[in-house]
Amino acid sequence: MRRGYPKVTGVLPVALANATKVISNVIHTVKEYVMVIQFHADIDIEKVKSVLEYFVGEIYQRPPLRSSVKRTVRRRRIHYIELLDHRDRYVLVRVGCDAGTYMRKLAHDIGLILGIGAHMRELRRTRTGPFREDETLVKMQEVSEALYTWREKGDERYLRRIILPVETAIAHLPKVMILDSAVDAVAHGADLAVPGIARLTKDIEHGKTVAILSLKGELVALGKALKNSSEIASMKKGIVVKTWRVYMDRGVYPPIWRKK
Amino acid sequence: MGLVEKGIRFIENITRHASYEQEWIVLREADTSPDYGVLPYNRPIEQHIHNGVINLDKPPGPTSHEVVAWIKKMFGLEKAGHGGTLEPQTLEIGFEAGLSQGYGCITSSFS
């Protein structure tokens, strides 16, 4: 471990096998962190509070020197900053923000505004979109124990608790549930037309990603909406979701659509 | 409870649990056959694993990438992936710490 390297822990959704196909969808979702900021001089906690308040809303950040993205200034929204605790020169905060907000930058900038300097000492992610720090969050040891209990003792219950269905990773997306007769067509990459839809959520927007589900709730594919929810509801026919990532294997549902 | 109700309830539960609010527009009432597919929480264990996600508490030390590699090996899977690393958050401090503490040159502090 490199000296001076901050500890980073917390919510890291890991997709197994097929689920890897759709896990990248959580990257651009809302985040929450708990961070220890270390100030470089003694602090007046009331001043710290008002400076934290100042950072809520739109902020501007340039990505770090070494980063995989283009280093142009980006606009990000800080939804809230809560002061949880403080001791000496350390302050513990909870931050809710857009994806791609650099906490390390935020800590640095808070130090700048206070005029005494500061850096991020420790960071824990407590949320990324549908995944949170709750009873589903598990440690590496628990995964290893669950796997052992299943392999050596034939008891799969523990493993079932540890592994969440892939649908959890798309829980934040707008959804359509489709008829059995439409499933295999979509699994073959066909776009979704209105007659194949049983129900849809009200938050579908033109151009946004939609999760296409079977009536049993199984993920069939992800698509891009060509209409918003109310438009879809008023249509009798026509393609409304363009399928762009098929999840379900072909042939799970019967190919009724092929019948002449 | 019918299969469709169970499917809808499952989806509503995971959505609510993730703190998202959604309302339905019902276009047509439909049934689903028990002969094809399966409720997501009733997949046989092998299938459950292959269509599963672990909400992992990343330990301090290894990178997200290393953690994923361990999981992949533990399960003996061909593929595994994560939903966004925690590393962009630490990259620069590694770089600066290397410099300010006089740990060799930039490249060696970053290899």
pLDDT for the residue A65: 72
As a whole number of angstroms, the distance between CA B30 and CA A181 comes to 11
Contact in structure between B51 and A21 (CB atoms under 8 Å): no
As a whole number of angstroms, the distance between CA A121 and CA A100 comes to 19
Residue B108 Cα, gap to closest chain A Cα (Å): 12
pLDDT interval class at B94 (50, 70, 90): very low
The pLDDT of residue A93 is above 80: yes
CA angle A158, B85, B91 (to 5 degrees): 140
Fold of the domain built from segment(s) A173-259: 2.30.130
pLDDT for the residue B85: 87
As a whole number of angstroms, the distance between CA A159 and CA A149 comes to 8
Residues 6+ apart with CB under 8 A from B44: none
As a whole number of angstroms, the distance between CA A119 and CA B92 comes to 11
Given an 8 Å threshold on Cβ–Cβ distance, is B83 in contact with A13?
A: yes
Strand order in the sheet with A219-225: A192-193, A239-246, A219-225, A209-214, A175-178, A197-201, B24-26
For A6-27, the pLDDT digits (tens) are 688 999 999 999 999 999 999 9
Given an 8 Å threshold on Cβ–Cβ distance, is B25 in contact with A233?
A: yes
Q: What is the ipTM of this complex?
A: 0.93
Q: Residues 63..82 of B with a Cβ closer than 8 Å to A: which?
A: 64, 67-68, 70-71, 74-75, 77-82
pLDDT interval class at A258 (50, 70, 90): low
| CA B89 to centroid of chain Cα atoms | 19
The pLDDT of residue B99 is above 50: no
The pLDDT of residue B5 is above 90: yes
| CA B101 to centroid of chain Cα atoms | 36
CATH number of this structure's domain A7-134, picked from the four choices 3.30.465.10, 3.90.550.10, 3.40.50.300, 3.30.2350.10: 3.30.2350.10
Contact in structure between A34 and A84 (CB atoms under 8 Å): yes
The pLDDT of residue A259 is above 80: no
Q: Which residues, listed in sequence order, are joined to residue A15 by a DSSP beta bridge?
A: B53, B81
As a whole number of angstroms, the distance between CA A53 and CA A76 comes to 15
Greatest extent of chain A over all pairs of C-alpha atoms, in Å: 79
Average pLDDT score over residue span A118-127: 96
Give per-residue burial for A50-62: e unless 16+ CB within 10 Å, then b.
Answer: ebbeebeeebebe
In this complex, is the C-beta atom of B99 within 8 Å of any C-beta atom belonging to chain A? no
For B8-49, the pLDDT digits (tens) are 999 999 999 999 999 999 999 999 999 999 999 999 999 999
Calculate the CA dihedral of residues A49, A87, A123, A141 and round it to 10 degrees: -140
Residues 6+ apart with CB under 8 A from A132: A11, A32, A126, B18, B19, B55
CA angle A199, A19, A209 (to 5 degrees): 40
Average pLDDT score over residue span A135-155: 97
pLDDT for the residue A257: 53
For B47-93, the pLDDT digits (tens) are 999 999 999 999 998 999 999 999 999 999 999 999 988 876 655 44
Among A38, A125, A218, pick the best mutation site for testing chain B contact (most B Cβ within 10 A): A218
Domain boundaries defined on chain A: 7-134, 138-166, 173-259
pLDDT interval class at B102 (50, 70, 90): very low
Calculate the CA dihedral of residues A73, A78, A83, A86 and round it to 10 degrees: -20
As a whole number of angstroms, the distance between CA B10 and CA A191 comes to 25
- Number of A to B CB contacts under 8 A, please give it: 315
Among A128, A147, A163, A166, pick the best mutation site for testing chain B contact (most B Cβ within 10 A): A163
